[in-house]
Chains A and B, each alone.
Chain A
Amino acid sequence: MIDFFRDMSANVFLQTGLIAGLLASVACGVVGPLVVTRRIVFLAGAIAHASLAGVGGSIFLQHHQPAIFSWFQPIYGALLAALAAAVIIGVVHDRVAERMDTLIGALWAVGMSVGVMLIKYTPGYHAELMSYLFGNLSMVQAGDLWFIAGLDVVILATIAVMYKRLLAVCVDPEQARLQGVNVLAVQITLLCLVALTVISLMQVVGLILVLALLTLPAATAAHHTTRMAAMMSVATCLCLLLCTLPRVAVYGSRLSPESAIVLAAAGGYLLSVAIRRWRAHANGLRVTTTAGGSDR
């Protein structure tokens, strides 16, 4: 652990990686509670995985048309694909009540397949593909920090403007509709926020592990808070801790820091469940809501 601080002053990659984690924590801390409360973890997973189509598209275009698409980084491709997936999923979820989960699951897989196929058609070995799937903090560059910070600003501004509508739709969508709130528009906005969060987290933990950071800190926060704003604050603090402490702890060992982050998030959640049970027991109450209830 001491190695980490010693090396950090010399190694600029360690610094940018750490800052990227902190910036992404803000996005995932405020959006995660909405995802968990609205129970759209599955939709968030589909958005995250479908964004791989954009990564593949960008790698493909950059190789075949380098003159035109040299600016089109894989992360921009992923952003476009994630936003497109958010809108499609929002509309499908609203219009097709029957077999909705089947369709979303299919979109999840189709997005990934398109991405993999496009990468296959691009000659060369693509080491960076792994970094999009599983994250690679040492590959984060200074320019990416501005990009992630920009995503944070958009997410926070949108939530500040839409807060009451988002809360209403998360708590009681039917009533929100009767109050004249356009529930579909709010839902698609929320899914687009998820898309932005997925992109900001992509380089910290990778697409595959995004779900863990989007849900576990929020679910942990839910155990100890009773209002959305408080849940967002606690989840953000948890994300900030989770994106820094595990990395510092495993530095220098053979363990992957990205996996350490996710395992720490899961450990924190289990610990929180245990604390809640113990507290309820101490108060002589029965725990009626089950531990896994928040993703029922």
Chain B
Amino acid sequence: MAQAKPAIELDHVSFSWGRQAGDRALDDVSLRVEQNDFLGLIGPNGGGKTTLLKVMLGLLSPQAGRVRIFGQPPRQASRRIGYVAQHTAIDPQAPATVMDVVLMGRLSRSTWASWGMRYSKADHAAAEEALARVGCASFARRPIQALSGGQRQRVLIARALAGEAELLLLDEPTTGVDMFAEQGLIGLLTELNTRLPIVIVSHDIAFVSRRLTRVACLNRRMTVHGIDELTDDAIHAMYHSPVARVHHDEGACPIHGGSHGGDDHLHDGADVGADAGAKTNPNMKADTSDD
């Protein structure tokens, strides 16, 4: 079970959409995600969060740097990643039941799995087990259009689990999900984190942070903080000051955290995280409107 290779390894990754080096979406980003990590990836809109996700998934190739997923190039490893898109990625009018959607996660399990009309019994069993794990077993036959945002998000997580994902990447999982469902979702992810490394992309860290092991701040450049060091200052720097202040942090704190698991630490983290999140939220909105 235990693998020596880190789940995600980014070495000095740079990516730009245009030709000029000036408009880099990602600038010299380095990151290691270990087996037991629960990493929050936060940053303002346009900061490169989605670009970085696509680089990890092998949908975009960086101009510079090296990306490895479980020691493999991302294109080869993409089947080992359970990518959980925003629940809005699924057409709400799609003629599919919850089961149909979860079974999609089994497409790449074998050479013949993606051909023909029907999924095998083993595929159905895996899908049912995955639905049970996210607490949606009773929804299997419901049309996907009949579910709430939170339920749909759970179904997408089940799809990743049905595909026997070894790493979960979640993109803004709490968008359009009410507070109650959101807390349930975080509880589920925390439970799944006992077996899988998880990376969760969000611009709202208030709820997530108390469970995270580390937080990566991305605004073209990346700084990684242990959850206990995510201070008001760090977030403020992230969203408001020039990027230079983040550089400064980066020099002082390369990559750390992940080693602490004590209750005291987590408790501290919760307070700091929630506090910082609450303070910065209005600022974040102001920031995006400037862009």
A residues apposed to B, CB below 8 Å: 33, 37, 160-165, 167-168, 170-172, 174-181, 222, 225-228, 230-231, 289, 293-294
Contacts and interface: CB of A to CB of B under 8 A. Distances in A.
Nearest to A294: B93
Contacts of A167: 96, 100, 104
B119 A164 contact: yes
A181 B104 CA distance: 11
Interface stretch (B8-16, B79-87, B250-258): B79-87
A179 B115 contact: no
A181 B95 contact: no
Contacts of A33: 95
A172 B115 contact: no
Given A162-B115, A181-B114, A176 B94 contact: no
Contact of B117 (A160, A175, A226): A160
B68 to A, nearest CB: 17
Contact of A171 (B81, B104, B163): B104
Given A174-B89, A225-B95, A179 B143 contact: no
B79 to A, nearest CB: 6
Contacts of A160: 116-117
Nearest to A39: B91
Contact of A176 (B104, B113, B117): B104
Interface of B: 57, 59, 78-79, 81, 83, 85, 89-97, 100-101, 104-105, 107-108, 113-117, 119, 143, 145, 159, 163
B79 A179 contact: yes
A227 B83 contact: no
Q: Which secondary structure characterizes the binding site on chain A?
A: helix
- Tell which of A165, A176, A177, A226 has the most Cβ of chain B within 10 Å: A226
A179 B58 CA distance: 12
Contact of B89 (A161, A163, A172, A227): A172
A226 to B, nearest CB: 4
A179 B109 CA distance: 9
A180 B91 contact: no
18 contacts: A33-B95, A37-B91, A161-B115, A161-B116, A162-B115, A164-B113, A168-B104, A171-B90, A171-B96, A171-B100, A172-B90, A172-B91, A172-B94, A174-B85, A179-B108, A227-B96, A289-B92, A289-B145
A165 B89 contact: no
B114 A165 contact: yes
A226 B145 contact: yes
Contact of B107 (A170, A181, A222, A227): A181
A231 B143 CA distance: 13
Contacts of A179: 79, 104-105, 107-108, 114, 163
